Chain A
C-alpha cells in the first residue's frame, strides 16, 4: 500500500506551495485528493436534516389549494416565515416502496425497496448524500459528514428506523455517524499536537496494520463459502474506506485544519436535545465556512429533543398524538424544528463566501422525513431551502401526481448541483416545477 510516489511527493510539497502543487498532484495519481485548492467559485453544498417520526399532519403543511408564492405560511412553523422567500414546501412526494411505519430515515435518502432481494429480509441502497459526496467531496478534507444525536446511534425510539446515520454506502450498508457535538467538534476542528513526521509515521503505521489484518482476511477468504465471503466484503470494504481516507489524510497532512472565524469552542458535554441541535448547527456552519466538507446529513434527535423541552412522554407516544398533551408536544416539536432550521438559515446567510455571496446562496438544505404522520408514508414532509441547486424558491408546490417519487427531488438536487448522474433510486425524472423561472 505504500505509494512509490510518497517520498517524491512529500519532498515536492516541501519545496513548493500546496496551491501550485495541485496539477502535479493529479498527475501523481492523487487526482481525488487535492489539498486546499484555490476556489474559483464558491462550492455547491448539500445538507439533509432528517426528522424521524412525522409531523403534526393538519398543521405542518400549507393548505393544498394555496400553491405558488401566495400561500399562507403554516402558523406552527412561524419562526421560519422570515425565510419564506428562500424555501419551498413540496407536497405529494413519497417512496412507493417503503412500508415501515416506524422508519423515517432508513429509506428516506435512498428510496430502496427493503424486500427487493430474494432470500433477504432487509435491503437498502446508496443514499443521495453519498452520491453527492463522491463528486462534491473530492476537494475537501472530509468527503461528507454524518451527524446524529447523543444516544442516537443505538436508539430506534426516534422514528428514524435502522441505520447508523442517514447515510448508506454503495453496498447499501449503514455509515456510522458522529453522535455527539464533542466528537463532531474533534473530527472537524481539533488538531493533533504531534509533529508532521510523527503523523506521517502514524499513517504508515495504520497502513501496515491494515496490511496485516488483510493478510488474515485473505487466509479466511479461501476457507469460507461464497455467501460468507459476501459478508466478509463489509470488512474488506471498511479496510478500503480507511485506505482511501488515509490517502486523503496524507494529501492533507501538511495543511493545517482551518480555524473558523469566529472561533468555535469544544461544546459542553451535557447538552441534550434542542440545545444539542443548536450546537450541531454551529458546527456545520463552521465546517462549511472553512470548507471542511460540502455534504452533511443530520439525524435529528426526537426523544431527547422533546424531553429537553419538558415533555415527559416518549417520542413514539407523542407521534401517535391525540388531542391534549400529546398534540401539544407534537406541535411544540414542529415549532422547534422550524426554529432550528430558521436559525440554521440565518447563520448560513450571515457567513460570507470569498466573493461576497453567502453560504446559503450555494447550498441546498432539505428538512424532512419518510413518515408523514403516525404510520402514514405518503406525502413525506419536505422543505427545501437555499440557492445551491438553482431552484426557484418561495413557493408551496403540490405535485399533481400524489405518488411523485421523492427520488425525483433527490435527482433534481443532484442535477441542480452540477452532479452528473442519469437517475437516482426510483426517480423518473427531475421535478420541472423547481427549475421554473
Chain B
C-alpha cells in the first residue's frame, strides 16, 4: 500500500528530529540537504562519480542539493539513498563512511526525499473532480430513494490513499459503470415495490421447539454410535467386529467412540436440565456449532421500525463475558455483528432485552442470537480445553425463554423519491413523467437543473420501455437508474466559468454539496438546498449555523466514523486474527467495541467541544458495559457509550490507553513496539518516519535468537541504515510494552515455546519483566508508561496539526499539500484559543477561502 507519509508528511520535523528545529508549524518549504553532507559525498563518492569519470553514468559532482529542484534531481538522490541503504555503495573494497556520519546523511536524505516528492507532486491546491466514493454513493441512494443499496460489487475506494474522498485516486472503470446501473435498478425496484402499510403486530418464537429437537436427535445419534461401539468392543475390537457392528473399519469405530466420549456428556447434561423444557441455553455444541436462536423474519416489503424482544436470564456461575447475547445478521458467508446486550435477569426473575432495528427494503431481515464469539476456530478450541477440564465443554452464560418481533412501527421519514411519487397518480401521463424526471434529476444532481436535451433522451428511454410492454413503475425505475448512472450524479461537479481551473468561488449549491459530503458523507438536505436556493449559505453567519446543525445531526456519525477510521488507519484493527486460546478475553465483541470506543471518543470531542489534548490523555474514558468489563471498570451498565471517570493512576484515558490502539500495534500474537512507535510518530506527534526503505538487508545474524525488546532495540541501532529510523521509533514502542497484543495491562512478558497439547495452546518458556523506560531522540527520559504518556500529551500542538492536515485532505478531497501551509496556520490560529477543539478546526476550515472555492 502507499505509505501515507507520502501524502502527509510536511510537518515532518517537529519533535524528535533535532536537526530540523522544533516548532510544529515549521513546515519545510524546501528540501535542501544540509551542506555538511557535501563533504561526505565528495570524500566517499566523487572518486568514481565525478563529472569526469561518471562511473555507471552517475555524476554526483554537479548535483543540486535542493532535492526538489526537479524530478531528475530527486530521482538521482533517490538512487543515492537506495544504494546507501542497500549497502551497495561505497563498494566493499573502498573506504566506508563512518556510521554516525552515514546515519545522519541517511536521516536527512530520506526525510528530504519525502519532502521533495511532496513538493514535486504538489497539485498547487487544485481540487480534482471527485466521484462519489462507495460510502457516499450508498448514503446518497439511501437519502434519495430510501433504500440502502448493496454495493458489494463496487470498489471500496480505500485502497490507494489516505482518504477515500480524494478525487485524484477515485478511478472509474467500465465494470463500475455497469455496476452503478444494475445497483440503481435493483434499489429503485425495492424502493417502489412496497406493500400497503399493515398494522404493527407481534410474532413470538419459542426457540426450544427447534433446538430440543435438534439436540435430542443429535444425542440419539451419539447413543446409537455408543451401542454400535459396545457391540464392537464385546466382539474383541477386531476389524471384523467393526464391520459387523456397522462401521467401515475399526479405525472409524475408535474415532466415533472417542467423539462420543467427548461430545455426548455435554448434550446429556443439557437435555436433562429442566430449564431447557421451556427455553434454550446458548452453548457451542461440537459439530452443530452455536445455539443460533433465530428471530422471526421481517416481512420483505414492510419497511419501518421493528423491535426484537428476548426474555432471558444469566448463569451467575459463568464469567461475565458469557452474560452477553451477540446478535448478528448473516448473508451467505458474510456475518454482520450488530451488537451485544448483557443479560442481568436471573432465573427467578428473567429480563426482557430489547433490540431496535430500522428496516428498509433490501436491508437485513433475519437476525440470529448466540453466545459471544471469536474469529475462526477459536471458540471450538476453547471448548476443547474446557471439555478436558470439566467433561462438558464451555458452560453457557445465557438462557433464553422466547424471542419476539414487533412491527412495523410507522416509518419516521420518507425518502425524496417516495414523497415525489406521492404527488402523482399511479400511472402519470407523459408530461407528468417529464416533471418527475426533471425533479428527480435536479435532486440527484444536488440542486443543479438538468439540461432539456438530456431530459428528452431520458423521456425517450421511458417511452421505449413502455412500448416494450414494461409496466410504468418498471419503465420509470429503469429510466431513473440512468440518472443515477450519469456523470452529474456520480461526480461532484464544480463549474469553472472559463475552463482555466483558476481559483473561483463555489456557487451556493456547490458549497452546500461540499459541506454536506464533508460533514455527513451524504447529499445536502432540504434545509441546505433551501439556503443555497436563496443565496444565504455563503454568508458566514448562516454557513456557521448550518455547519453547527450538520455537526449535531445524526448523520454526522458518518463523518466521525469514516474520518476517524481513515485518519487513524484503523483498518489495522482487522488485519490480524488472534488466537482465542492465547487471548480468550479478546473476542469479536471486544474488537468491535474497541473500534466504537475510538469513534465514541471522537464524537465526545465534537459534541462536547473538548480540548483536543484529551484525546492524548484524559481522566475519563468513553466506554460501554463490554469495555468496562474488559478494562476492569465497575458500575457501567448498558451497551451505549458514555463518559466514565477514571481513578487516579489508571493507564486508560486517551488514545494510548485504548484497546484499539494496542491491537493495531500488534501482529495478532505479540505486541509490536515498532508498529506502535511508528503509529505514535505518525498519528500523534506528526513526525512520520520516512517509508520503510527498499533493499535494506535484514538483521539475519539475529535469526532464531530469543531477544527481549531492549535487546532488539540495541540490534536495530547497529547498522546506520536501521538506526536512522529505529532510534526514533523503538523507544516509544518499548515505553508501551505494559500493554499486551490485546491492550491488556501487564508487568511481565514471556517467551513461549510451541505446545504439544494442541488446539492452539502454548507454554511459557521464560518470563521477563516489562521495562517501560527509555530515552527519546531529543534526550527526554521517561521511566514509565505514564511518563511517556505525559510527554506525548505535551505535544498537543503537533497533534492539532495532524488533525488539521487530515481535515484539509478529507474535506477538500485532495492530499494535504505543500501549498496548504498558510491554510493550516489560519485554522490552527483560530482554533488554538478553544484548545483546538475538533469543531473549531472544522469551523475554521469551512470558513476558509480554500474550502469555499475550487
B-binding residues in A (CB < 8 A):
97, 99-103, 113, 115-116, 118-122, 153-157, 161-162, 164, 173-176, 201, 205, 208-209, 211-213, 215-217, 219-220, 223-229, 231-232, 234-235, 237-239, 241-242, 245, 269-270, 307, 312-314, 316-317, 322-324, 374-378
Listed by A's residue number, 14 A-B pairs whose Cβ atoms lie within 8 Å are A101-B692, A119-B123, A154-B156, A156-B1, A162-B2, A226-B499, A227-B126, A229-B499, A313-B576, A313-B669, A314-B576, A375-B692, A375-B693, A375-B696
Q: Give chain A residues whose Cβ lies under 8 Å from the Cβ of B633.
A: none
- 4 tightest CB-CB pairs across the interface, nearest first? A225-B501, A225-B496, A323-B704, A121-B121
Interface residue? B517 (CB, 8 A): no
Tell whether, in the assembled complex, residue B124 and residue A162 are in contact, meaning their CB atoms are under 8 Å apart: no
How far in angstroms is the closest Cβ of chain B from A152? 10
Interface residue? B495 (CB, 8 A): yes
Q: Give chain A residues whose Cβ lies under 8 Å from the Cβ of B485.
A: 209, 213
Q: Give chain B residues whose Cβ lies under 8 Å from the Cβ of A103.
A: 1-2
Q: Give chain B residues whose Cβ lies under 8 Å from the Cβ of A155.
A: 159
Q: Give chain A residues whose Cβ lies under 8 Å from the Cβ of B172.
A: 173, 234-235, 237-238
Q: Give chain A residues whose Cβ lies under 8 Å from the Cβ of B123.
A: 119-120
Answer whether A245 and B333 are a contact pair too, CB < 8 Å, given A122-B169, A375-B695: no
With contacts A118-B120, A209-B485, A324-B704 known, what are 12 further pairs, Cβ within 8 A? A102-B3, A115-B121, A119-B121, A219-B453, A220-B488, A220-B491, A224-B493, A313-B576, A374-B698, A375-B695, A377-B695, A378-B695
Tell whether, in the assembled complex, residue B499 and residue A224 are in contact, meaning their CB atoms are under 8 Å apart: yes
Q: Give chain A residues whose Cβ lies under 8 Å from the Cβ of B696.
A: 375-376
Contact mask for chain B residues 74-109; partner A; CB cutoff 8 A; 1 contact, 0 none: 110010001000100000000000000000000000
Q: Give chain A residues whose Cβ lies under 8 Å from the Cβ of B468.
A: 201
Q: Give chain B residues whose Cβ lies under 8 Å from the Cβ of A209.
A: 181, 461, 482, 485
CA distance A319 to B196 in the complex (A): 57
Within 8 A of A (CB), among B164-185: 167-169, 171-178, 181
CA distance A102 to B6 in the complex (A): 13
Tell whether, in the assembled complex, residue A223 and residue B121 are in contact, meaning their CB atoms are under 8 Å apart: no
Tell whether, in the assembled complex, residue B177 and residue A164 are in contact, meaning their CB atoms are under 8 Å apart: no
CA distance A154 to B82 in the complex (A): 30
CA distance A77 to B704 in the complex (A): 23
**A-B contact number at CB 8 A:** 216
Interface residue? B486 (CB, 8 A): yes
Tell whether, in the assembled complex, residue A270 and residue B576 are in contact, meaning their CB atoms are under 8 Å apart: no
Tell whether, in the assembled complex, residue A122 and residue B2 are in contact, meaning their CB atoms are under 8 Å apart: yes
Within 8 A of A (CB), among B122-173: 122-124, 126, 128-129, 155-156, 158-160, 167-169, 171-173
Tell whether, in the assembled complex, residue A238 and residue B486 are in contact, meaning their CB atoms are under 8 Å apart: no
Q: Give chain A residues whose Cβ lies under 8 Å from the Cβ of B499.
A: 224-226, 229
CA distance A276 to B548 in the complex (A): 50
Interface residue? B288 (CB, 8 A): no
Within 8 A of A (CB), among B746-788: none
CA distance A31 to B3 in the complex (A): 45
CA distance A213 to B167 in the complex (A): 20
Q: Give chain A residues whose Cβ lies under 8 Å from the Cβ of B490.
A: 235
How far in angstroms is the closest Cβ of chain A from B516? 20
CA distance A232 to B499 in the complex (A): 14
Interface residue? B708 (CB, 8 A): no
Answer whether A154 and B120 are a contact pair too, CB < 8 Å, given A122-B2, A226-B500, A317-B576: no
How far in angstroms is the closest Cβ of chain A from B119? 10
How far in angstroms is the closest Cβ of chain B from A296? 17
Interface residue? B412 (CB, 8 A): no
User: B667 — nearest CB in chain A belongs to which residue?
Assistant: A317
Q: Give chain B residues whose Cβ lies under 8 Å from the Cβ of A376.
A: 86, 694-696
Answer whether A232 and B174 are a contact pair too, CB < 8 Å, given A99-B694, A269-B333, A314-B575: no
Q: Give chain A residues whose Cβ lies under 8 Å from the Cβ of B74.
A: 115
Answer whether A121 and B128 are a contact pair too, CB < 8 Å, given A312-B579, A317-B576: no
Tell whether, in the assembled complex, residue A164 and residue B493 are in contact, meaning their CB atoms are under 8 Å apart: no
Tell whether, in the assembled complex, residue A115 and residue B117 are in contact, meaning their CB atoms are under 8 Å apart: yes
Interface residue? B402 (CB, 8 A): no
Interface residue? B451 (CB, 8 A): yes
**Which one of B156, B376, B495, B694 lies within 8 Å of A224 (CB-CB)?**
B495
User: B123 — nearest CB in chain A belongs to which residue?
Assistant: A119
Tell whether, in the assembled complex, residue B457 and residue A212 are in contact, meaning their CB atoms are under 8 Å apart: yes
**Which one of A228, A234, A316, A324 lies within 8 Å of B501 (CB-CB)?**
A228
Interface residue? B494 (CB, 8 A): yes
Tell whether, in the assembled complex, residue B575 and residue A157 are in contact, meaning their CB atoms are under 8 Å apart: yes
User: B702 — nearest CB in chain A belongs to which residue?
Assistant: A322
CA distance A342 to B387 in the complex (A): 43
How far in angstroms is the closest Cβ of chain A from B244? 37
User: B464 — nearest CB in chain A belongs to which residue?
Assistant: A208
How far in angstroms is the closest Cβ of chain B from A169? 8
**Which one of B2, B118, B488 lies within 8 Å of A216 (CB-CB)?**
B488
**Which one of A113, A154, A174, A213 lies within 8 Å of B487 (CB-CB)?**
A213
Q: Give chain B residues whose Cβ lies under 8 Å from the Cβ of A116.
A: 71
User: A212 — nearest CB in chain B belongs to which residue?
Assistant: B457
How far in angstroms is the closest Cβ of chain A from B114? 11
Answer whether A225 and B2 are a contact pair too, CB < 8 Å, given A176-B176, A234-B171, A375-B693: no
Q: Give chain A residues whose Cβ lies under 8 Å from the Cβ of B554.
A: none
Q: Give chain A residues whose Cβ lies under 8 Å from the Cβ of B122.
A: 119
Answer whether A317 and B668 are a contact pair too, CB < 8 Å, given A99-B694, A213-B485, A377-B695: yes
